[in-house]
Each structure stands twice: as structure tokens, then as C-alpha cells.
């Protein structure tokens, strides 16, 4: 079973990288969690509005560490064209 992390969960992970979400991911295994391009877009938009370079870097660090849902990966490739 895979777990898709929603916006609130990824946001919590950005704010508290060593908190309970991180502990739960370690429990289930990093290969079993993913997120979507929609979540990434929502969080990137919010971080840009806050104009905080530190927040942007924390967010990008978390997003680089996460796997993407298969449909999100296809959408990213399509949107990049």
C-alpha cells in the first residue's frame, strides 16, 4: 500500500522536518509515500507569497526527498514541454 501525502501533511513536514510526520514516514518506509504535483504547486505558491527564501529552500528540500505519484510525474513531463 502507498500513502499519498496531502498539502497539510507536506506543509507540516516542511515546518517540522523531524516531527511526527517524519517519524511516521520512517515507520512505513520512504518508498511507500508519495505526493502529487498539485500539492507541490499549492505549497510553492504559498511559499512565494510569503517571500521567504528559507521557507522556499525548506520546501524544495522536502519535495526533492519525496516520490511523486505516477500520474503527477506524467503531468510534470507534459507541462514542461
Question: What is the C-alpha separation between 22 and 8, in angstroms, rounded?
Answer: 13
Give pLDDT tens digits for 39-69. Answer: 999 999 999 999 999 999 999 999 999 988 8
- Going by pLDDT thresholds of 50, 70 and 90, the confidence category of residue 1 is confident
Whole-model pTM above 0.75? yes
Q: Which contiguous run of DSSP H or E holds residue 58?
A: helix 53-65
Amino acid at each position: 500500500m502507498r500513502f499519498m501525502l496531502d498539502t497539510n501533511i507536506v506543509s507540516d513536514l516542511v515546518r517540522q522536518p523531524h516531527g511526527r510526520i517524519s517519524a511516521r514516514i520512517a515507520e512505513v518506509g520512504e518508498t511507500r509515500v508519495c505526493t502529487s504535483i498539485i500539492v507541490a504547486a499549492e505549497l510553492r505558491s504559498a511559499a512565494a507569497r510569503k517571500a521567504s527564501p528559507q521557507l522556499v529552500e525548506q520546501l524544495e528540500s522536502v519535495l526533492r526527498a519525496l516520490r511523486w505519484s505516477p500520474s503527477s510525474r506524467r503531468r510534470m513531463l507534459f507541462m514542461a514541454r
